[in-house]
Amino acid sequence: MILRYPLTICAAVLAVGAWGEASVPPDGREIAERMDKADTSVDGERLATMLIERRGQRLVRELSMRVKKFGDDERTLIRFIEPADVRDTQYLSWTYDAIDQDDDMWVFFPTENLVRRISGGGKKGSFMRSDFANEDIEQRAVDDDEHTFVEETTLEGRPVYVIESRPIPAKAKDSSYAKRRIWVDAERWLPLRIEYYDRRDRLLKILSQGGIEEIDGIWTATKLIMETPRRDSRTLMQYADIRYDIGLPDSAFEQTALRR
């Protein structure tokens, strides 16, 4: 699941607090690490409404999402609730921190009672006809990319750091993106905007994250919009009933659980 975002006086003060010296620019990797650690929970779940709008047509899907950390690794389970034609379709992803280990993803289709593994180029495909790709719903490890600091600026009144993240050679082959440009909230360490570029440096998609709330002590984006300008298409993801550290069992994230 995907997925995840001129220098003002306020930004300068934040820079001093976070990095110690305002004259020393923050390092791209350090920013990526702070963003990766912003969610301090062990596990969590939420409900989501996904609204797909494309060329005047609308498609609505309801789903639930569960996440659990296994040390430095992470597992995500997504189950579709409505409409009836996709009910109980499930996606399970295992993402690994080790750069020499490929992430795993499976999808379960209840009408066929079949579990299929998604690998390689399949992760570039659309996630249930939305503007999100299958690779967008996976958690990326910090070491999957090389991170470069671009600038300090503001976005919608918030001080932000802008970084560019490019997949390392070992991870580039399975991604549609040559780079991502990320606007990171300099106080909450959440990505507020992400631009995705192809190998010709053309803008493919734009992700905007908003509705920021502090839930169980964790700053959380409750509203995501992924836009694909070339296709005149966008997908809204609205989260509700978000809960953290609820004690989800390890067994809920096994392949065998997909058929239950």
Query: pLDDT tens across 83-129, in order?
Result: 999 999 999 999 999 888 889 999 999 988 889 999 877 888 999 99
- pLDDT of 24: 66
- pLDDT of 124: 87
- pLDDT of 73: 94
Positions of E strands within the chain = 43-54, 57-70, 73-82, 90-95, 104-109, 114-117, 145-155, 158-167, 179-185, 191-197, 203-215, 218-228, 233-244
How many other C-beta atoms lie within 10 A of the C-beta of residue 188? 17
Which residue matches tokens 């301090």? 40
- pLDDT of 16: 39
- pLDDT of 170: 86
- pLDDT of 52: 97
- pLDDT of 172: 85
Mean pLDDT of successive 10-residue segments in the chain (260 residues)? Answer: 35 40 73 95 98 95 97 96 95 92 92 88 89 91 95 96 95 90 97 96 97 97 97 97 97 87
pTM (predicted TM-score):
0.87
